[in-house]
Amino acid sequence: MPDSENNPDQSAQDRFLAGDADKGESIVQLRGVTKKFGETVVFSDVDLEVGVSEVVVLIGPSGAGKSTLLRCVNGLEEITSGEIVVAGQTLSYDQKHLNRIRSRIGMVFQSFNLFPHMSVTENIAVAQRDVLGRGKDEAIQKAHSLLERVGLSHKADAYPGSLSGGQQQRVAIARALAMDPAVMLFDEPTSALDPELVGEVLAVMKDLAEEGMTMMCVTHEMRFARRVADRVVLIADHGIAEQGPPDQVLDHPVTERAQHFLSELSDH
């Protein structure tokens, strides 16, 4: 296709929308991103690239802005300056553009945020129908196959209120996957769970990673970071303090900031 060679952004966008971008190409790019709340600087001048099928785990002290960074990627937070590019498209806050990009960026929240007045199936089907324009049967079928994938087929007609936290979070993952996202964002997905329920959610996330899903994940689960992450990024002191493969960052950190953070962790 000669056109796409002349216009690489366009081709990346096409493949993003088709959902089959090549491994190694970056799907999320942050260029000189600064975020302030009023006068308070959360982070400044952050550069970060996430490749297709890459699993990037964001760690760091609480309040360092890991979650805020993640929320900037799908525009839940507006950046103060810099540029965020998702699959060749620069994020703008024009509502139509934002809705279109968001429909391909899955997000999983700490507090699950399932719609309490809809059944599990309806939770997974609603945006497929409203946003992607899928028919009722297709949306329900997709919901059921995703429920099978997260091991919750028997809860298809249940309401979120009757599910455990771990089950709710698995439904939330299925809801995000139903949109065929190009990248999945996880914002402390296991922090609100009872310890015995953490494993079932991490198992689903690990499967996803192995199937080649591109993932950005804020978590305090160091074992998950070690086993699943391709890259660990330490966010501290208003920016990226250190990044690299998990064994390097977690076991042999180079920067003083990282050494300090990790020693604090092992103290507990």
Asked if residue 136 binds other proteins (CB under 8 A), the reply is no
Cβ of 129: how many Cβ atoms within 10 Å?
Answer: 15
37: contact with other proteins by CB under 8 A: no
Strand order in the sheet with 231-236: 105-108, 183-187, 215-218, 55-59, 231-236, 239-244
- Sign, CA dihedral 35-36-42-46, equals positive
Nearer to other proteins, 161 or 195 (CB): 161
**Any contact of residue 114 with other proteins (CB under 8 A)?**
yes
Q: Tokens representing 110?
A: 């700490």
Cβ proximity to other proteins, 188 vs 242, nearer residue:
188
> Using the rule CB under 8 A, is 41 a contact of other proteins?
no
Residue of 205, 128, 116, 118 lying closest to 161 (CA atoms):
116
Residue selected from 30, 69, 107, 213 as contacting other proteins according to rule CB under 8 A = 107
Told to check if 115 binds other proteins by CB under 8 A, we report yes
Per DSSP, which regions of 98-230 are E strands?
A: 105-108, 183-187, 215-218
Count of chain residues binding other proteins (CB under 8 A): 32
The verdict on 156 binding other proteins (CB under 8 A) reads no
Out of 12, 176, 235, 241, which residue is the one contacting other proteins (CB under 8 A)? Answer: 176
The H or E element containing residue 28 is: strand 26-37
Q: In what order do the strands lie in the sheet with 40-51?
A: 40-51, 26-37, 81-86, 89-90
Quick note: the x/- pattern for other proteins over 177-206, rule CB under 8 A, is: --x---------------------------
Residue 103 lies near other proteins (rule: CB under 8 A): yes
Residue matched to tokens 């966008």 = 13
Q: Tell me the closest approach of the beta carbon of residue 235 to other proteins, in angstroms.
A: 21
Q: Which residue in the set 61, 159, 244, 255 belongs to the binding site for other proteins (CB under 8 A)?
A: 159
For residue 58 the two structure tokens come to: 């964001």
Q: CA of 11: how far to CAs of 5, 17, 88, in Å?
A: 8, 10, 8
Task: Please state the closest distance from residue 184 (CB atom) to other proteins, in A.
Answer: 11
User: Which one among 41, 131, 203, 222 touches other proteins, defined by CB under 8 A?
Assistant: 131
Q: Which residues bind other proteins (CB under 8 A)?
A: 74, 76, 95, 99-105, 107, 109, 111, 113-119, 126-127, 130-131, 159-162, 172, 175-176, 179
